[in-house]
Amino acid sequence: MNSKNTIINTAKHTIDMESKAISNLSSLVTNDFAEAVELIYKSKGRVIITGIGKSAIIANKIVATLNSTGTPAIFMHAADAIHGDLGLILKDDVVICISKSGNTPEIKVLVPLIKSANNKMIAITGNTESFLGQQADYILNTFVEKEACPNNLAPTTSTTAQLVIGDALAVCLLELRGFSSNDFAKYHPGGALGKKLYLRVHDISSVNQKPKVTANTSIKEVIIEISEKMLGVTAVIENDKIIGIITDGDLRRMLSKVDNFASLTAKDIMSANPKRIAADAMAIDAMELMENNDISQLLVEENGLYAGVVHIHDLIKEGII
């Protein structure tokens, strides 16, 4: 067997092992999970998530997911906690401890300190009989039979299981809060993801030039208007209402068919009833309309009147595509 086949087989084996472990997690979800979700949902405080080693990395990710979906959360490294960071925990906070074995030295020192402050504690562990499991108020079982690591040492399958349980927690809380796409946009105002949720067509078209001609505009003037406004298109309007569109492609097709266009006007080559979109529509809707109709520009309307152009390049520039 050549090396490429070995690599591919190892990758497939790792994926299969981890997918089976995740599938098995469903059978480990008990009333403790539901009660833990309700505890967090009703809490007046924050969620403090702690762990050490690879579990600390997973804790950071769960914190990020909770924060972005409406549940305030803070990461506290288990080693730092016993050297001063315990001050992060306030009386109404809920603490989540993540540990595969539940028996690490740091956890054994940390857990009694959390308990003495009367904070409710949720354990994410693969060993329900461990020190952590026995001390926790609620246990989220992430037991896995074997790590994907061939030596059964490096945290692989176990950290994947922890991550999935964290996602399940976040999604349950998201649904309880009725967290909508509009709420999501508030927490993600930057980047392409945020823009897909809040950017509207008007935000883009309003900064573009507004090419327009009338039905009786000469072809020469149409060419000048399209060239000057640099959007590859012009609207054909009548009383500020859209009656047609002329694109670069329409001009090329005209030139291939006629030798003398001096007598032609916009109405002779325009496409009537062009695709258009409302100014207050979402930019992502404009993208879908362009993709579905294999076009690069859309005319924009506001209150039934011509309001401008949105180009596919605008959407690319904004990161929508």
Q: Name the band, by pLDDT with cuts 50, 70 and 90, for residue 315.
A: confident
33 and 74 share a domain?
yes
pLDDT of res. 197: 58
Q: Name the band, by pLDDT with cuts 50, 70 and 90, for residue 79.
A: confident
Lowest mean pLDDT among 155-164, 185-194, 288-297: 185-194
DSSP structure class, residue 149: S
214 and 299 share a domain?
yes
Tens digit of pLDDT for each residue in 65-75? 998 888 999 99
89 and 159 share a domain?
yes
Count of domains observed in the chain: 2
169 and 221 share a domain?
no
228 and 277 share a domain?
yes
pLDDT of res. 246: 93
Domain that holds residue 170: 3-179
Q: Tell which of 114, 148, 179 closes a domain.
A: 179
8 A C-beta contact, residue 110 and residue 87: no
Binding residue per annotation — 77?
Answer: yes
Given a cut of 70, whether residue 120 has pLDDT beyond it is: yes
Report yes or no on 195 lying in a domain: no
8 A C-beta contact, residue 211 and residue 234: yes
Q: Tell which of 179, 213, 229 closes a domain.
A: 179
87 and 140 share a domain?
yes
73 and 32 share a domain?
yes
Report yes or no on 189 lying in a domain: no
170 and 233 share a domain?
no
Report yes or no on 194 lying in a domain: no
Mean pLDDT over 247-276 rounds to 88
Cβ burial 259-291 (10 Å sphere, 16+ → b, else e): eebeeebbbebbeeebebbbbebbbbebbebbe
Lowest mean pLDDT among 77-81, 191-195, 199-203, 243-247: 191-195
Q: Which domain CATH number covers 105?
A: 3.40.50.10490
pTM score, two decimals? 0.64
Given a cut of 90, whether residue 205 has pLDDT beyond it is: no
DSSP, collapsed to helix, strand or coil, labels residue 171 as helix
Distances (CA, A) of 197 to 187, 285, 286: 11, 10, 13
Average pLDDT of the chain is 89
Report yes or no on 196 lying in a domain: no
